[in-house]
Amino acid sequence: MATAKAEEDDAVAGTNLLERHKKPVCLIVLGMAGSGKTTFVQQLTSRLHARNKPPYVINLDPACREVPYPVNIDIRDTVNYKEVMKQYSLGPNGGIVTSLNLFATKFDQVIKLVEKRSANTDLAIFDTPGQIEVFTWSASGTIITETLAALFPTVVVYVIDVVRSVSPVTFMSNMLYACSILYKLRLPFIIVMNKIDVVKHDYALEWMTDFDSFELALSSDSSYNANLSRSLSLTLDEFYKDLTTVGFSAVTGEGFDEFLAAVDAAVVEYETDYCPEHDRLQKLQAEARSKDKTRQKDKFESDFQETSRKLGVTTGRYVSQSNEILLRSHLSTVNKMFARLSSSLMLRGANLTSE
Ligand SMILES: Nc1nc2c(ncn2[C@@H]2O[C@H](COP(=O)(O)OP(=O)(O)OP(=O)(O)O)[C@@H](O)[C@H]2O)c(=O)[nH]1
C-alpha cells in the first residue's frame, strides 16, 4: 500500500504539479451515502478559497436539498429531479439516473466551462449522488468520467466513513466496492478515510497491511459474512498495494495538506500510467474501426460484383479503371435493374446503394 507520506516526498521533489499543470485536475468524489462527501467538498472548497486558490465546483447530485459550498455548476439548475420523477413515473433512484442521463447530454458545455477556467483554477471538484451505484454503474456516470479522464488529469476520490467501518465486515464491503470502482475506471484512486476526528484510521491501515490483525478482528464472528470477508482480505492484498490512503476530517480539516500531496502524486500516476494506456486503447479502437470499414468496403465490392455478375454486367472493367463516374452510372443502372427485379419478384427492401 502506498502511503500518502511516501508519495508526498516524491511530489515535493519537483515543482508542484497542481501549480504547473495547464489544465485543472478533476476530482470525482465518490462514497457511500453519509460517508461525508458533501462535507469533504465543503471543507476542501473553503480551505482552497482561504489559500486564494478557489476550485471550480460541480454538484452532480440532483436530489440533494442544499449545497453547503459555493458551487459553479449545479445539476439542479438544469434538471428538476422531482419533475423528472413525476413525468417519467419513476422512483427516487430512477429519477436520479434519468436526471444524470439528461445532464450528461449537456456535459460538453460543462467541459467548455471547466476549460475556460484552466488559467486560474487548479482543481475542479465533482460531488456525486449518495446512491453511489447510480453514478458508478450508470451510462451517464461512465460518460462523464471517461470524458473528463480523456481531457483532464482525473482522480477518483473515494470517501470512507471510518466510524462505521470499525466493523470488519462493513470495512470489507466498503473496500470491495472501492476495488470494483478502481478496476472499472482504472484511474488514479485516493481513499479518503473520513471522520478521523471521531475515530483514528490507524486500525484500517493495519487491517490493510497485516492479515493477522484483520483475522483477529473477525475472530469473534463466525457468520457467513465474516468468513467471506476473511477470504476476501487475502484476495484484496494486491488491490491494497495500488491504493493511496489519506486520513481526513471533513469537519476539522485535518489531513488537508496530506490530501493535496496525494492529489499531486495521483496526477503523476495519471500521466505516467493512465495516459499511455488510454492512448494505446484509443489506437486499438481506431485500428478496429478502420478494419471494420475495410471489411464493409470489401463486402460491398464482393456483393456488388456478385450482383452484377448475376445481372450480366461486367464490373471488373470499371473497378480496374477506377473510373468513379462510370462506376456510379453503372451502379445506378444496376440499382434500377435490381429495383425492377425486386418489384417483379415482389421483394421489399432489396436496394443497392452506391456508397
Ligand atoms: N464528526 C464528523 N462528522 C462528519 C465528517 N464528515 C461528515 N460528517 C457528518 O456526516 C454526516 C453525513 O455527511 P454528508 O457530507 O452529508 O455525507 P454525504 O456522503 O454527502 O451524504 P449523501 O449526500 O447522503 O451521500 C453529516 O452529519 C456530517 O456532518 C467528519 O469528518 N467528522
Kindly state whether residue 87 falls inside one of the protein's structural domains: no
Nearest ligand 1 atom to alpha carbon 39 = 15
pLDDT at position 11: 46
pLDDT at position 165: 93
Angle between the 107-116 and 139-151 helix axes, to the nearest 10 degrees?
30
- CATH classification of the domain holding 150: 3.40.50.300
Q: Is the CB of 176 under 6 A from ligand 1?
A: no
The residue whose CA is least distant from atom 9 of ligand 1 is: 36
The residue whose CA is least distant from atom 29 of ligand 1 is: 39
Distance CA 132, CA 199 (A): 23
Number of structural domains, the chain?
1
A 10 A CB-CB count for 354 gives: 14
Q: Is the CB of 168 under 6 A from ligand 1?
A: no
Kindly state whether residue 142 falls inside one of the protein's structural domains: yes
Residue of 28, 30, 32, 38 with the most ligand 1 atoms within 8 Å of its CB, for mutation: 38
Nearest CA-CA partner of 63 in 36, 91, 96: 96
- Provide block-wise average pLDDT over 10 residues at a time, the chain (355 residues): 49 43 88 94 96 94 91 94 92 92 93 89 93 87 92 94 92 89 89 96 90 80 74 78 90 96 93 83 86 89 84 54 60 66 49 37
State which amino acid sits at residue 299. K
pLDDT at position 327: 60
Kindly state whether residue 351 falls inside one of the protein's structural domains: no
The residue whose CA is least distant from atom 2 of ligand 1 is: 195
pLDDT at position 252: 97
Domain that holds residue 201: 22-53+110-283
pLDDT at position 346: 46
Nearest CA-CA partner of 208 in 188, 228, 191: 191
ipTM given for this complex: 0.97
Kindly state whether residue 349 falls inside one of the protein's structural domains: no
Q: Is the CB of 197 under 6 A from ligand 1?
A: yes
pLDDT at position 15: 41
Residue ranges in 91-197 assigned as alpha helix (H): 92-104, 107-116, 132-136, 139-151, 168-185
Kindly state whether residue 331 falls inside one of the protein's structural domains: no
Kindly state whether residue 295 falls inside one of the protein's structural domains: no
